[in-house]
Each structure stands twice: as C-alpha cells, then as structure tokens.
Structure 1
Amino acid sequence: MHRVTAMSSNHPAVPAPSPPDPTRRSLLIKTYALAGASLLPALAACGGSDGAAGASAQPPQPAPASAPQVQADVGFQSVSTAARLDSRFTGLSYEKNKLAQPLFTGSNTALIQLFRLLGPGVLRIGANAVDRSSWNGAVSGLTPILPAHVDALADFLQATQWQLIYGVNMARNTTASAADEAAYVFGRLGSSLLAWEIGNEPDLYRRNEYRPDDWSYPDFRSEWRELRSAMSAVSPGVAFSGPAVAFDIRRFTLPFARDEGDNVSLLTHHYYRADRNDPASTLALLLRPDPVLLNELAVLVSGASQAGIEQGVRLAEANSFFNGGVANVSNAFGTALWVMDFMFNCAVAGCTGVNMHGGGSGPGYTPIADRNGVVVEARPEFYGMLMFSQAAQGLPMRGLVVAPSAVINVSAWGVQRADGGRNLILINKDDSRSVRMSVVTGIAADRYEPLWLRGTALSASTGQTLGGVAIGQDGSWAPQAQPPLIASDGELNVLLPPASAVLLRSL
C-alpha cells in the first residue's frame, strides 16, 4: 500500500573465479559450517545466501528430465543479530475499514482456520483506512467504527489466539474520541491487545493533505503524545507502538525511537520494494536482493536497541509493491519464494516480527484473498508464509551457497532449534533450471522430514502446492507425508526443481 525502499533477501550465486576441486570444496564447507563461520567468503553470497537448494530424495513432483541442472554447495552460519523465531514473528496487516465489512468475526470459520495454520501470530489493524475512519461515526464522511465491530473482532481473536496491534485515527481525531475508542477496545480485547498504534505513515501527512506544508516531526511528536496520554489513561498496562512510518527513517523513525523509547514497546516501520506504477516493478526485481532493505534493517534495529525499546523492531506493514501491488506479479507464485527470503532477512537482522499487508480480491498483493467478508482463496504469498511459520522454531541462520559453474538465483536459510535439531529451507527462484545441491547440515542428524513447496512457474497465480496439496478455501490443509531424506556424514544431496522450495526438518 505504501512505500519504503527495499526488498528481500538473497543474491544470485556467482561463479567462482577458479574453484577448488570438489573434494576440497566439500571439506571446506563442512569445516566452516560446523564452526559457524563464513563459508568461502570470496565466493558466497551474503544476506541470506544464494545458490541452490536441495535434498537427498526425489521431490513429490520431480523436475522434468529436460530441465538443465546446476551444481551447488551450501552450509549454514549463525548470526549474532538474529532474533529468536516463534509463531508471533509472523503477522498480517489489514485496512481498518475491514472491521466494518465485517471480515473479522467469530463465525468466519475459513479465515479463522487460515490464521490458525500460521499459528498464534500478530494481526495489525490500521493502514491508510485508519485515518479515514471514525469511532462511532463522530466525523462525518469517515468510515464509522462501531462497538459491534470491536465485539466481532474480539470473538475472532479469541478463536485464533492471535494478538492485535490496533490503530487509532491521528489525522482527523480528538483526544476525547481516541480515549473513548481505546476504553471500549481495551475492555473488550483485554490480553489480546498487544499494542496501540496512532495514525499511519505520518511522514506522508503533508503529501496526503492531512497537514500543512510546514508540519514536521516535532508537530507529529506533540500530537502523538497528546493522543497517547489520553489513550493510556483509559487502558493501563497496554503498550504503544510507532511511529508506523512509510519510509523516512532519518527524520521520523530514529528521532521517534530516541524521544519516545520509554513510551513505546515496539518500534514500527513499513516496507515495500518499489512503486507498482514504475515499469521496473517486475517479478525479476522482486526476486533480486535489495541491499537497501538490509541497510535499513541494521539502522532500525540499532536505533531500537540504543533506545531500549523492549520488543525491538517490527515491520508492521510490508509487501511487494506499494499502491496495491502489480497485477500478475504481486499475486504470482514467485511471491511465495520472495516472502520467505524477506522474512528471513528481517529475522537474521534482528527484527522481532513482520506483518504482510493485504485484503481484497484484486490482482495485486494479499496473502489471503477475500470478497465481501468471505475468503476467496489462499494466494501464493500465504503458501510461503506458511512454510516460513513451519520452520520458525528457534534462532535463524544464514545460508551460504557456492555455485561455481553458473549464476543462479537460489537461497538457503536455517533455524537452530532449542532441541539441538535444525530446520533448513532451500529455495530455487530460477524458472528453468534445477539445482543439485550438497548441503552441509552442521549437525549429526541423519534423517530429515521434507515439506515441498511447488509452483508450475514463477509467474503462475494458481496451481501451487505445499506438502503435495493445495490449501483449501475453507482453510483446510493436509500435507502428504514423504519419506525422510537421509544424510551421510552430515551432508544431504538434494535436487531442487525450478520454481520450488523445500523445508527439511531434522528428526
């Protein structure tokens, strides 16, 4: 919906100038991976790796014999900045007018089941529509948000066990109305309420003609404090998040962290790769690494840490291309692969969560398509989020990939579980080539349970499967059991078909 420079994760694996012989390379990878050090740094891609992915048994739908193959090696590296993963890392973000539709009710069983698939996560209600809504219809011309809408939301949260970041209008509101809304929401949602959010993308308020041309961060801070004080008085103990900025880190987000670090528990920012109206906003761009994202994450995480913000940084609104996404790009299978790279990049950088923005049934972005309050389908992006959530059980690790003979867009990620096991995700973002990969697992386990994510093509918007099956419109998902893949001396050999990914869980 809105804007922020940056994108996802991993770089295409690059050819090595003069690769060592395969036996020596394998030994080097094994040694460095087990030590948790960088593998072959001159050859390996950073920021989540590149290269290939694979596993030692054939996938449920083998690649056509005609698909050319690339050989690659991968290992995994611990990252000191990484934030521990659990189901709360994964989140969804919606426009506030979805409350009035209503979408979030205790009887919307399909949506409840889809949320449950991701595990107890974090829902954010706000976005552009928060400043176009009004509690009890107090402001004419804005979407009325009524107590009945909040009651239905409370039932939905109870059914899903999700927590909520709840947005309140800042652009056109009064402290009295904000306090009235906060009091009612607090009384109905109780412990489901993770944090308040005041306004949306204040760095765009002048552009959106909510404020005069001379309005700036000090004015925002003054208004934010007034609303916070009124809301806090009627909702004791509820945390605040902010500043929910679109892109202006230097003039809004970092000053806010410095000035209000004692008054917020969550520093929030938004992310989109680019503008949907830019002709360069293609699937190829989306699947390429975005170094700006990595730089911004480092700045945000450092700023939150210096300010002592308890729950760190959350990208509370994010997706592919702002202004709703690009048709046949933002809803394509490639986004399932992109979103995993994006979320892992955030995790290894130290973010504590991500909320993917969505809603509606148009050809742009949304993890879950809905129409008139009814679920239409789980889109490819949801498939990627579900695979991520299946792996999100510990400390994320960066995968390091070497593909000496070719440039190919692949990536690898790991999760070190508390039980000593590992979850490994391997992603092939090439549309025509398979990758045969030697994976140094870094642990002694010799059996790995596979979960395959497959699409018919990167550009396809239908036909994807996870665990060999599609996710039902009703939220049903029953993945097919697959035989375990067997490692030998800590190494797996995997053939990863074009446009696919696999999660390997050590047993």
Structure 2
Amino acid sequence: MLPSLSCPACFCLGAFFPSLLYAQSLSLSPSPSRAGASVSDNLDPSFAGFGIEPSNLFSFTGWNDANNFSIRLLQNLADYSGAPPHIRVGGNTQDYMIYDPDYQDFGWKRNPNISAQGAIAADSMIIGPNYLAALDRFPAGTYITYGLNLAYKGSDYLDRIATHAEAVVNNLKNTRLYSFEIGNEPDLYLENGMRAAPWDGKIYTEEFMERADTVYQKVLKPAGMASMFFEPPGTASTIGTTFEIGMLNNNGILNQMNGEYYVGWWNQHDYFYFIGVTPTPITLDDLMDMDQTNTQFKYWEKQVGIALDTGVPYVLREMCSVGPIGMHQVSDTFGASLWTLNFFMYMATLNVSSVQMHMTDNSNASAWQPITKYGKSPFVRPNYYAHAAVAQIIGNGNGTTQIGALDVGDAGGDYTGRIRAYSAYANNALQGIIMINSKQANESVSNKGSFTFNLNWGAENANKKIYLSYLTAPGADSLTGTTWNGITYSDLDGTASVVDASIYQLELDGNGAASVSVRDSEAVVANLDWQLGTNKVTKVDGSTTSGSRRKNSGAKAITGADTAIWTAILISSLSLAASLGSL
C-alpha cells in the first residue's frame, strides 16, 4: 500500500533488496468509454454463484433448524450485488435420487428397495417435500438451477421425473426456480454403470428431449411456464467424446419436439485440477500461475464460442479450483482466493453467463465449511472473500455491469503469468480497474515485493479521485486473516465487520493518470469517484440496502504520511546498504 518512488539511491539499494525496490511495472490505458472497449455483455448480479452437491444440501440449509451461518453468508453477497448468488443443486447424487411425497423428514434416506442400475444405484436415495422446504430457506429471490435424475430408467421413469419436477415447481416459494438440469455428466454414464453400450451423445439427446418434453407438457405448461427451461449436457469433459456442443447441436438437441424448443442454456462442468484424474501433482504456486488457467481452459474457450454461435447462452454450472473435495494448503488458501477472483473475471470476458463454484461440506475448496466436520467448527475460507469482491464489483450499487480484459503481456520475468488486469464499465464509461498480482509470497516472507500498475484513465477523468479496495491476507499460504475492502466475516454467524475503515484514495493527475502498487499475492480494485460498498444497493424485491462499508470522513490518501514513512524506511535501508558495502 506504499507509494512508488523514483530516485538515484534506489539503484544502489536495488542491488541488496531487489524484491523491495525493483518492483516491475506495467502501463494500462483502458478506453474511458465502453464504446471503444472490448467488454462482456451485461453481467447479472447473481453471476458469481455456487453449486451444492444434492446429498450435502442439508449441511448448508440445516435440517429441522435452518443453518443461519450459511444463509447469512449468502445474504451478505445479495446485499452487495442486489441479488443472491445463483445456486445450482446438482452433482453425481442428483442421479441417485428419487422423490417420494410421503417421506417427510428433513434429510434423505437410503432406499431399502433398490432396483435401478449403476455402480451406485440410480434410485439409492429418497427425498421428500422437506428437501425443497430446506432449499427454500436461502435468501429471498435466490435463483435455483435444479438437477433432475436422468440416470433412472425403470418402467416408471417418465412418471418419476414429472412428479419430482412438479414438487420443485410447487414447493419453491421464497427462492426462484431458474432452470432444470436433466442428468449430471452423462458422458461418464458408461464408466459409472448408469448405461450400457451403446451410449453416446445422440442417444443422450433422445433421452434428454423425451424427459424435457414430459416435464414441460405435464408440469411447466400447466403452470404457465416457458418451455426453454432446460440445460444440457452437464458434461464433465467433452474432449474426445460425442458430447461436444457442436455434435449435440447436429444431433438435434436445439430442434423442436412437439412444437416446442427446450434448451435454454448450454451447461458444462470443469475443474482446474481434479485429484485422481489430472496426472501431475499440484502446488499452490501452480494454481497461482494464471497462464496455467488459460492453458487449461483453452478448449473450453472454443466450446463457449461454439455455444454462443448457436444463439444459446453458456453457463459453467460446476467449477472449482481442485476437485473433487479440494486440497488442504492449496484450495483453502488465500492464493486460491486470488485464483477465484481472476477466474470469475476471466469467465466474464468470455461471455459465460453464470459460474457456480461447487461445494460439499467436506471440501477444502468450498467457500465455507457449513457444519462441524472432522472436529472443526464451521468457518469461512479465503475463497468466500473473492465472491464478496465480485459481488461489490458488479453490484448495482456500483453500477458496474461489463468486464473487459486488459493486455498484461508486457509483465515478464518473475511476474510472467502472475499479473492480470480487467476493466469494469458502468453507464457506458470506465468505472473500475481490477489488478491482480498472484506472484506467490507466503506469510513467512517479511519484505514482500510488489508490482506497479501505471493507469491512464483518460483526460476526461483528469484530477478525479480513485478509491482502492484491497483483497489481501498475510500471505499466499494464509488459511485465515483474509480481508476484502477492509471487511472480515465471522466464523460464528457469518456477519460482516469492518476492521479497516480507512478509505484509500489517489488523485489522478492532469492527464488522468496514477500509479498503484500491488503487493505480491494481493489484488486491488481501483474505483472511480467512490469507494466500493458505500452506495445503496437495490435488491431484487425492490427494497434497498445501505452501503456495506461505512464511509469515513477522514479518507486516507496514498501520499503524505505514507511517503514520509516510506522515506524513513528508505533512509534506514540505505544506511544498512552503506554499512554492508564497507565490509
């Protein structure tokens, strides 16, 4: 958070403290107007969402009593963005579940009369009305993508899927049913015993269409709901399979059936790394190399493009840094939070409409642990803070609705792959710049380096102020101590507390320029004219919430006192350098 200085003495000192003084820099000149920028479509405030494994739903919602810790954490994000994060209830276990209207417990039970196929039978779990009552506890207006069972193929399979869908439609009152996902990762059905050969994308298309038509004709149409309410294919990986979007399109999945179109979104799944599948080991430093993320998702970028060319939106409904349940000291660290922030921004620039980070109650990659597990009480992980950052960046209080990628190709040396920057636009004008420095610097490093972003906001913004919000922690490997915009979240009840009420600001010069130093393993958002989180937010129900970060009349400019402190450090360091030089 210290200002950059330029002086002849720095060259001498750099020989002894290169990480301290030779911080590299990059100049960025985003278009001041949206008209001159390459940016995303308007982002929905629920864009940065979550996926919950169906078998784990009650861990997050509560059983007989509501899980107010989870609910508070979700409500925080709704208060920031204007809408709760979109939640997908889906995963492997959706293809094990059958609905029984007579089962009244808050929970699920094992089916004592299994008859279906599968390595884990497609009718092995029973749920009832209170499964949906629990889901309805989430914040008002929460969008729900609900996973229905495609794997079950008993003689009554159409009746069962219609009964289940009707129960969802009729019982979600507080939350808002957004779409149905029919089947989870059907590209894996052969290996998990859900289908026998022959099985491919063409047969899947036929089964998907039949079930979608049944649910529409028996449930959605009588309820006055739209037919384009379904999401295929929910695949784990389409590379080298017959489940690629182009292939499914050729198979007719976007065609009419009985005079209706059923596909409203293309749905795919992926992970940056999956234990037991990815052949090489992973380290935190690997995760923090943002170039590796681009390499991993090069194929998915192509899939997104193919999907959008069909005129149907693309959603990434199951995503995570490390699957299936994360990795301690990798996916639960602050470094993973920086990865999460970057990933959301990256997906936005590709025009992915929604991203759900998958959660289970035992995953080291989940944004929070919702119940006591392995002797450890519920707590908030650093990843949650990235969700909070995105919610405030795209929230309607800020007015930001479009994101663009900025060229950081000139960042080299130790910072190759570690620097990312994005522009944020609101009301057709540049509103913010997101800067990420993912060079790994752990807690144990006392003198962390930094990277300087020289920002040119354009002459039309000359002499205006920018306000800095920090996503930071003691180090990349930190499991605790993360803050976003001076805010921390309670492990007891999920409430937000402002632990640093200072407002960090810089004044742009007469050309609209300023430099911002971002510490290694840190992210900074510069916002024009006001501090993120200080504006009122209009919620989906039309009500408003006050700014999530209280205003401070004594704003802290990154000049003056900080410069004096930095100068003192510099003089002290020069003295030490001189002493070393005389030895």
Regarding TM over 0.5, the answer is yes
Q: Does 1:476 align with 2:495?
A: yes
Q: Does 1:285 align with 2:286?
A: yes
What pairs up with 1:331-410 in 2 under 5 angstroms?
A: 331-362=332-363, 364-371=364-371, 376-392=378-394, 393-401=400-408, 406-408=413-415, 409-410=418-419
The verdict on how the C-alpha distance between 1:284 and 1:79 changes in structure 2, with shifts beyond 3 A counting, is farther
What pairs up with 1:271-282 in 2 under 5 angstroms?
A: 271-277=270-276, 278-282=279-283
What pairs up with 1:132-211 in 2 under 5 angstroms?
A: 132-136=96-100, 140=114, 142-156=124-138, 159-173=139-153, 174-189=157-172, 192-211=176-195
Q: For 1:161-205, what per-residue CA distance to the aligned partner results, in whole angstroms no more than 9, with x for missing partners?
A: 210000011112511111001111101226701100111011111
Q: 2:234 aligns with which of 221, 244, 257?
A: 244
TM-score, normalization by structure 2: 0.70
- Return the alpha-carbon distance in structure 2 between the equivalents of residues 145 and 370 of structure 1: 21
Equivalent residue, structure 1, for 2:48:
90
- Return the alpha-carbon distance in structure 2 between the equivalents of residues 212 and 94 of structure 1: 28
- Return the alpha-carbon distance in structure 2 between the equivalents of residues 279 and 182 of structure 1: 41
Q: Is the 8 A contact 1:428 1:497 kept in 2?
A: yes
- Return the alpha-carbon distance in structure 2 between the equivalents of residues 352 and 76 of structure 1: 23
- Return the alpha-carbon distance in structure 1 between the equivalents of residues 325 and 465 of structure 2: 43
Count how many residue pairs are aligned between Structure 1 and Structure 2.
444
Equivalent residue, structure 2, for 1:269:
268
Q: In structure 2, the residue corresponding to 1:272 is in which secondary structure?
A: coil
| Stretch moving more, 325-334 or 463-472 | 463-472
Q: Is the 8 A contact 1:449 1:504 kept in 2?
A: yes
User: Offset of 1:469 from its aligned partner?
Assistant: 3.6
Matching residue's letter, 2:150 = M
Q: Is the 8 A contact 1:165 1:193 kept in 2?
A: yes
Q: For 1:191-249, what per-residue CA distance to the aligned partner results, in whole angstroms no more than 9, with x for missing partners?
A: 70110011101111111121114311122112212221221121232511121111115
- Structure 1, unaligned stretches of length 5 or more? 1-53, 59-63
Q: For 1:52-96, what per-residue CA distance to the aligned partner results, in whole angstroms no more than 9, with x for missing partners?
A: xx89699xxxxx997452233223366646232231211100111
User: Offset of 1:143 from its aligned partner?
Assistant: 2.4
Q: Does 1:499 align with 2:498?
A: no
Q: Is the 8 A contact 2:19 2:449 kept in 1?
A: no
Equivalent residue, structure 1, for 2:550:
none
Equivalent residue, structure 1, for 2:86:
122
Q: 1:305 aligns with which of 299, 302, 308?
A: 308
TM-score, normalization by structure 1: 0.80
User: Offset of 1:483 from its aligned partner?
Assistant: 3.5
User: Offset of 1:293 from its aligned partner?
Assistant: 4.7
Equivalent residue, structure 2, for 1:217:
201
**Alignment RMSD, CA only?**
2.8
Q: For 1:250-271, what per-residue CA distance to the aligned partner results, in whole angstroms no more than 9, with x for missing partners?
A: 6214133452234211111112
- Structure 2, unaligned stretches of length 5 or more? 6-16, 101-108, 115-122, 255-260, 395-399, 442-447, 530-583
Q: In structure 1, the residue corresponding to 2:322 is in which secondary structure?
A: strand
Q: For 1:348-390, what per-residue CA distance to the aligned partner results, in whole angstroms no more than 9, with x for missing partners?
A: 111111001112144x211121226998122111111211221
Q: For 1:145-175, what per-residue CA distance to the aligned partner results, in whole angstroms no more than 9, with x for missing partners?
A: 210110221232xx34210000011112511
The verdict on how the C-alpha distance between 1:229 and 1:342 changes in structure 2, with shifts beyond 3 A counting, is same
What pairs up with 1:26-65 in 2 under 5 angstroms?
A: none
Q: In structure 2, the residue corresponding to 1:324 is in which secondary structure?
A: coil
Matching residue's letter, 1:426 = M
Equivalent residue, structure 2, for 1:485:
506
- Return the alpha-carbon distance in structure 1 between the equivalents of residues 53 and 86 of structure 2: 15
Structure 1 residue ranges, 4+ long, deviating more than 4 angstroms after superposition: 54-58, 77-81, 372-375, 402-405
Q: Is the 8 A contact 2:19 2:450 kept in 1?
A: no
Equivalent residue, structure 2, for 1:109:
68
- Return the alpha-carbon distance in structure 2 between the equivalents of residues 279 and 103 of structure 1: 36
Q: For 1:436-464, what per-residue CA distance to the aligned partner results, in whole angstroms no more than 9, with x for missing partners?
A: 22112346162122211112221221121
Q: Is the 8 A contact 1:471 1:477 kept in 2?
A: yes
- Return the alpha-carbon distance in structure 2 between the equivalents of residues 126 and 433 of structure 1: 42
User: Offset of 1:108 from its aligned partner?
Assistant: 2.6
Q: In structure 2, the residue corresponding to 1:314 is in which secondary structure?
A: strand
- Return the alpha-carbon distance in structure 1 between the equivalents of residues 522 and 422 of structure 2: 14
- Return the alpha-carbon distance in structure 2 between the equivalents of residues 501 and 301 of structure 1: 27
Equivalent residue, structure 2, for 1:319:
320
Matching residue's letter, 1:224 = F
Q: Is the 8 A contact 1:110 1:375 kept in 2?
A: no
Q: 2:461 aligns with which of 444, 459, 465?
A: 444
- Return the alpha-carbon distance in structure 2 between the equivalents of residues 134 and 269 of structure 1: 23
Q: 1:260 aligns with which of 225, 244, 253?
A: 253
Q: Does 1:295 align with 2:312?
A: no
Larger RCO (CA within 8 A; separation ≥ 6): 1
The verdict on how the C-alpha distance between 1:438 and 1:220 changes in structure 2, with shifts beyond 3 A counting, is same
User: Offset of 1:485 from its aligned partner?
Assistant: 2.1
User: Offset of 1:313 from its aligned partner?
Assistant: 0.5
- Return the alpha-carbon distance in structure 2 between the equivalents of residues 351 and 292 of structure 1: 17
| Stretch moving more, 371-380 or 298-307 | 371-380
Equivalent residue, structure 2, for 1:13:
none
Matching residue's letter, 1:407 = D
- Return the alpha-carbon distance in structure 2 between the equivalents of residues 372 and 134 of structure 1: 28
